[in-house]
Copies of this chain bind each other. A is one copy, B any other.
């Protein structure tokens, strides 16, 4: 209940601080018999890890994950899976300057007030470093979803500052440092980021993620709707300030006749709903969008206070991402995988004896 636990049947519990000894977690509820190896997890970890391009922080972390339990002779045993990533790049730097100052836009102030003390080194538990374990756990869920159900999950950057990016070709997403699916925009992105870096400032971003081949029926109304749990998962990613399912905020100015996705014997004719009706997956692609704020760790001076309530100026000199949204792509994929995996098991637990699971409509989209 203290917040470091996610999921109901397929669960993950995480620990670890930015500059501590290690980060880690426990995946509980993975069905037995899944073929899995550390290499399967490393692929996504490498996509998220820092230091891979000029657009991300220069901090270098190998992010090598170890599976400590729950896998035997290459297969999951159905027992809990221990995951561990040692922190290697913990520069022994001088924190005396920042330990008494609250960086604006960060969790320094709220952690200090909530807990009465805080690990001020690199943000401690509030650092996005913690998300590496989510990515590792998500990779296990992804593998199950793909191997057993054929579900594929793809994320991409859909906007960076003013630059909108279309989902033109998801196959190129992993070939460029922006997770961009819009090849024609790559030069513009590069130019924008170079210019931004000169100013010492940062920029927000929009990330999109979709899952295909999701079976009809996942989601538990009325509170644990599939979309509600996706919103919970996505808003729980560092820096996220908005979540949309399907058409999202565009529905505010849509008519009912325009919004409702028509159904035909050949399937749905559109997917404005984003694959969820009444909180339950419809068999269409699940589509979600996330708004990520610009990081507050910038070299532009900022107005703040210290722990005594006195004025203080903050300038971040450290190694930070000018656009934290970019690296959120594999994290968003991981969280969607965790939600789908959890709901698949929950649905199967309650409804496995439903007589005709064959969908009336063919999958579409």
A56 within 8 A of B: no
Interface-facing stretch out of A43-51, A167-175, A181-189, A239-247: A239-247
Report yes or no: B31 in contact with A26, Cβ–Cβ below 8 A: no
Known: A105-B273, A263-B304, A309-B265. A113 touches B216 (CB 8 A): yes
Q: How far is the CA of A2 from the CA of B345 in the complex (A)?
A: 11
Q: Is the CB of B119 within 8 A of A77?
A: yes
CA distance A291 to B206 in the complex (A): 17
Mind listing 26 A-B residue pairs with CB under 8 Å?
A1-B346, A2-B11, A3-B219, A4-B28, A5-B13, A6-B223, A15-B81, A26-B26, A31-B350, A79-B119, A79-B124, A80-B125, A105-B259, A105-B260, A107-B277, A114-B219, A125-B221, A201-B256, A202-B257, A223-B232, A227-B236, A228-B231, A228-B236, A242-B244, A255-B294, A260-B296
Tally A residues with Cβ within 8 Å of B: 163
Cβ of A41 within 8 Å of any chain B Cβ, yes or no, is: no
Taking A206-B252, A242-B244 as contacts, is the C-beta distance between A4 and B125 under 8 angstroms? Answer: no
CB of A159 within 8 A of chain B?
yes
Report the separation of the CA atoms of residues A365 and B8 in the bound assembly, to the nearest whole angstrom.
35
B280–A111 contact, CB under 8 A?
A: yes
A213 to chain B, nearest CB (A): 15
A58 interface residue (CB < 8 Å to B) = no
> Is A1 a contact of B9 with CB atoms below 8 Å?
yes
Cα–Cα distance between A300 and B359 once the two chains are bound (Å): 27
- In chain A between 246 and 266, which residues have their CB closer than 8 angstroms to a CB of chain B? 246-265
Instruction: Decide if A346 touches B9 in the complex (CB within 8 Å).
Output: yes
In the complex, whether A22 has a CB less than 8 A from a CB of chain B is yes
CB distance from A290 to the nearest CB of B (A): 9
Residues 96-140 of A contacting B (Cβ, < 8 Å): 102, 104-107, 109-119, 124-126, 130
In the complex, which of the residues A102, A161, A236 has the most CB atoms of chain B within 10 Å of its own CB atom?
A236
CB–CB B82/A24 < 8 A: yes
Minimal Cβ-Cβ distance residue in B for A83 = B15
A280 → chain B closest CB, angstroms: 4
A146 close to B (CB within 8 Å): no
A254/B204 in contact, CB under 8 A: yes
B-chain residues with CB within 8 Å of residue A28 when the two chains form the complex: 1-5, 13, 15
Nearest CB on B from A216, distance (A): 4
Tell me the complex Cα distance, A307–B361, Å.
9
1/0 per residue, CB under 8 A from B, across A298-314: the answer is: 10101111011111000
**Contact present for B255 and A202 (CB under 8 Å):** yes
- A212 in the interface (beta carbon within 8 A): no
Are A228 and B235 neighbours in the complex by a CB distance under 8 Å?
Answer: yes
In the complex the two chains form, is B201's CB within 8 Å of A263's CB?
Answer: no
List chain B residues, Cβ under 8 A from A33: 115-117, 353-355
Whether B354 pairs with A17 at a CB distance below 8 angstroms is no
Q: With A25-B26, A279-B107, A293-B251 known to touch, is A114 a contact of B263 (CB < 8 Å)?
A: no
Q: Are the CB atoms of B293 and A17 closer together than 8 Å?
A: no
From known contacts A107-B280, A243-B235, A354-B32, infer whether A114 and B202 are also in contact, taking CB-CB under 8 Å: no
Contacting residue for A298 out of B223, B246, B256, CB 8 A = B256
Residue contact A354 to B204, C-beta cutoff 8 Å: no
**Shortest 5 CB-CB distances between A and B: which pairs?**
A107-B278, A3-B220, A349-B349, A105-B260, A202-B256
Given contacts A2-B29, A13-B5, contact A114 B82 (CB under 8 A): no
